Amino acid sequence: MKARQLRTRIIAYFVGISLFISVLFGVVCFLFAYTIEDHLFNVILKDEANYVSQQLSLGNTPVPRLEFIEYLEDKQQLPQFIQNILQESPNASEFSSQGDLHYHLMWLDQGLLLAEVSEQLVVRKLKLGMFNFMLVALGIVLLVAIILAYLSLAMAKKLLKPLDKLVEIVSEAPVEKLPQNFSDQFVKDEIGGFARTLEQALDRIRKFIDREQAFTRDASHELRTPIAVTQGALTLLKQEKLSEKQLQLVNRAAAAQAQMTQSVELLLALAREETIQQTNVKLLPIVESCVLQQAPKIANKDISVEVNVSSNAAIAVGESALNLILSNLIGNAFSHVESGSVTVSFTDNTLSIIDTGQGIPNEILDRIFESGIKSESSKGLGMGLSIVYRLCQRLDIDLSLESNQQGTAFHLTFADS
């Protein structure tokens, strides 16, 4: 269908351009014919003017040699409509009457010449014939244009066949395996050069992907081992006789270690584009857990925290993914508010985290979800919101942002569970 549309457009362009040029040429031809005709009458009048001037110099009564030219001694002898026109346009030399008569006028030192050229207007008489001829010529031009368009399409199809083959190679390649070693089958022309450049670019992309996959595998292995060791050590430590203060610290370390385990697994799944498990989870316990987890950030601040989430609220999303998203958003709110309030509310399947901080600077607001983007006052690495954005995209969560000098609001809209 697209190929037919392209062919129709190319033919239409050829026909349109040919039609425009033909009409323009026809108009120019008519103007040229009228101009030549007027110039001819002026030449004839000049020749007669020389003859009449010679007769006057000899004292003879001048009689023009051509029947349609008349010598007049005074402009009062001119037809009345010509006199009226001369009053408004004294330099006029060409006149047309209502009776379809046409005149040319030339002034002499003594008197003037008036030529009634209605019978000599060749272009007027041939106008219909010229118009019919141009219509026939226009039809021939359009026919030739259509033929040339089809020939051009056939030639273009032949010339672009290697490009179609290149597109086919790239489009049919599986996502997990980029095409390689395909440029040798193309001749050394512009398309062949493009194929070699494309192959080199795909090769660089392939190597980059290989490095990223190797890093993901290595990170998965290297991070899981110390996490498992830490988990075992904390489990053994809990079996010892500990003071209440020590037990609190151990439980806090165990909670942080569990969160780290979930975060590592989740981020590795995100990097490997694996499916993230989604189940119905109660929202309030996760919100409360994230608030308590991030509470040390507001220990010495005059901040009130309000949670407006129903105990029955549930959403279809992975617990670890939601925990990571909310930890970043609530942690950001706690970090950027010195005094005021942070509100977490859930209404109509939308979870909102609203703070009364100074807001996100306008110069980075449009790029706040890019990796490494942060305000000058931020002490983080600028990675948290980027991770949140990518997780929301993966989990089909609609993430929106509002920010001004009165505060910032993040809205997470979940699909109906």
Last residue of a domain, one of 135, 155, 175: 155
User: Is residue 360, in this structure, part of any structural domain at all?
Assistant: yes
Q: Cα Rg for the chain, rounded, in angstroms?
A: 45
Q: Does residue 7 carry a pLDDT above 80?
A: no
pLDDT of residue 11: 73
pLDDT of residue 161: 74
Contact between residue 257 and residue 223 where contact means Cβ atoms under 8 Å apart = no
- Cβ neighbors of 12 (< 8 A, separation 6 or more) are none
pLDDT of residue 277: 64
Average pLDDT across the chain, whole number: 81
pLDDT of residue 2: 44
Q: What is the DSSP letter of 357?
A: S
Give the span between the Cα atoms of 399 and 404, in whole angstroms.
17
User: Looking at residue 369, which CATH number applies to its domain?
Assistant: 3.30.565.10
β-sheet bridge partners, residue 114: 70, 105
User: Is residue 254, in this structure, part of any structural domain at all?
Assistant: no
pLDDT of residue 220: 65
Could you read off the pLDDT of 294-310 as tens digits, one per residue?
888 888 888 899 999 99
| Coil vs helix vs strand at 390 | helix
User: Is residue 126, in this structure, part of any structural domain at all?
Assistant: yes
- Cβ neighbors of 325 (< 8 A, separation 6 or more) are 388, 391, 392, 397, 412
- Amino acid present at 182: F
Q: Does residue 1 carry a pLDDT above 60?
A: no
Last residue of a domain, one of 107, 123, 155: 155
Give the span between the Cα atoms of 183 and 199, in whole angstroms.
7
- Cβ neighbors of 342 (< 8 A, separation 6 or more) are 298, 303, 304, 305, 306, 330, 333, 334, 353, 354, 355, 356
- Number of domains composing the chain: 2
Could you read off the pLDDT of 228-262 as tens digits, one per residue?
778 788 788 778 887 888 877 877 787 777 767 77
pLDDT of residue 406: 87
pLDDT of residue 306: 92
Of residues 354, 370, 358, the one with CA closest to residue 411: 354
Quickly state the pLDDT bin for 346 (edges 50, 70, 90): very high
User: Is residue 312, in this structure, part of any structural domain at all?
Assistant: yes
Give whole-number Cα distances, 289 to 286, 293, 343, 344, 366, in Å.
5, 6, 15, 13, 30
Contact between residue 355 and residue 336 where contact means Cβ atoms under 8 Å apart = yes
Contact between residue 22 and residue 138 where contact means Cβ atoms under 8 Å apart = yes
Residue 151 and residue 7 share a domain = yes
Last residue of a domain, one of 130, 155, 180: 155
β-sheet bridge partners, residue 106: 113
How far apart are the two ends of the chain, measured CA to CA in Å? 40
Out of 199-208, 280-289, 338-347, least confident range:
199-208
User: Is residue 207, in this structure, part of any structural domain at all?
Assistant: no
DSSP string, 210-244: HHHHHHHHHHHHHHHHHHHHHHHHHHHHHTS---H
How much is the average pLDDT of 392-402? Answer: 88
Contact between residue 395 and residue 277 where contact means Cβ atoms under 8 Å apart = no
User: Is residue 162, in this structure, part of any structural domain at all?
Assistant: no
Give the span between the Cα atoms of 28 and 20, in whole angstroms.
12
How much is the average pLDDT of 8-31? Answer: 80
Q: Does residue 157 carry a pLDDT above 80?
A: no
Give the span between the Cα atoms of 380 and 373, in whole angstroms.
10
Quickly state the pLDDT bin for 409 (edges 50, 70, 90): very high
Of residues 255, 263, 252, 264, the one with CA closest to residue 224: 264
Q: Does residue 410 carry a pLDDT above 90?
A: yes
Could you read off the pLDDT of 348-385 as tens digits, one per residue?
889 999 999 888 888 888 888 887 777 776 766 677 78
How much is the average pLDDT of 319-327? Answer: 84
Which range of residues forms the domain containing residue 360?
Answer: 280-413
Q: Does residue 213 carry a pLDDT above 70?
A: no
User: Is residue 251, in this structure, part of any structural domain at all?
Assistant: no
Q: Does residue 115 carry a pLDDT above 80?
A: yes
Which of 223-227, 266-270, 401-405 shows the highest mean pLDDT?
A: 401-405
Of residues 312, 348, 335, 328, the one with CA closest to residue 410: 328
pLDDT of residue 411: 94
Q: Does residue 4 carry a pLDDT above 90?
A: no
Beta strands in 244-297 (DSSP E): 280-282
Q: Does residue 271 carry a pLDDT above 90?
A: no
Could you read off the pLDDT of 52-102 as tens digits, one per residue?
888 888 888 888 888 888 888 888 888 888 888 888 888 888 888 777 788
Residue 151 and residue 14 share a domain = yes
Q: Which long-range contacts (CB under 8 A, 24 or more apart) does 262-265 make?
A: 262/320, 262/323, 262/324, 263/320, 263/324, 264/220, 264/223, 264/224, 264/227, 265/320
pTM: 0.49
Of residues 93, 87, 143, 97, the one with CA closest to residue 118: 97
- Amino acid present at 250: V
User: Is residue 194, in this structure, part of any structural domain at all?
Assistant: no
